[in-house]
Amino acid sequence: MDGFSSDFSPAAPASASGKLDTGAIMEQVKVQIAVANAQELLQRMTDKCFRKCIGKPGGSLDNSEQKCVAMCMDRYMDAWNTVSRAYNSRLQRERAKM
């Protein structure tokens, strides 16, 4: 993910004519959104799985804690996908009502 950040700093990309390159802007926006979403997920997942798996922080992240965190990550992703599907189908139903 480190590589992405360097793409953001320059001003809007310009084509040879000096006009703003719409395609390149759209690409940048997409990348930025993807990074923001990954960060959002990472932050919430870390918070939730830390709470579930690390009862009393010890001298190291022991084996059973690591196993718990790994399982928790997978279940969090499952949950995310389930929620996304449920929300999407609800939106579809609401739209059909209108």
Partner 1 sequence: MEAAADPELQSFIEAETQKQRFQGLVHQLTELCWDKCMEKPGPKLDARCEGCFVNCVERFIDTSQFILNRLEQTQKTRDPFSRSLTD
Site for partner 1, rule CB under 8 A: 12, 19-20, 22, 25-26, 29-30, 33, 37, 40-41, 44, 48-49, 52, 68, 71-72, 74-76, 78-80, 82-84, 86-88, 90-91
Non-local (6+) Cβ contacts of 21 within 8 A are 12, 13, 14, 15
| CB-based burial label for 75 (10 Å; 0-12, 13-18, 19+) | middle
- Complex with partner 1: residue 59 or 93, whichever CB lies closer: 93
- Complex with partner 1: residue 56 or 59, whichever CB lies closer: 56
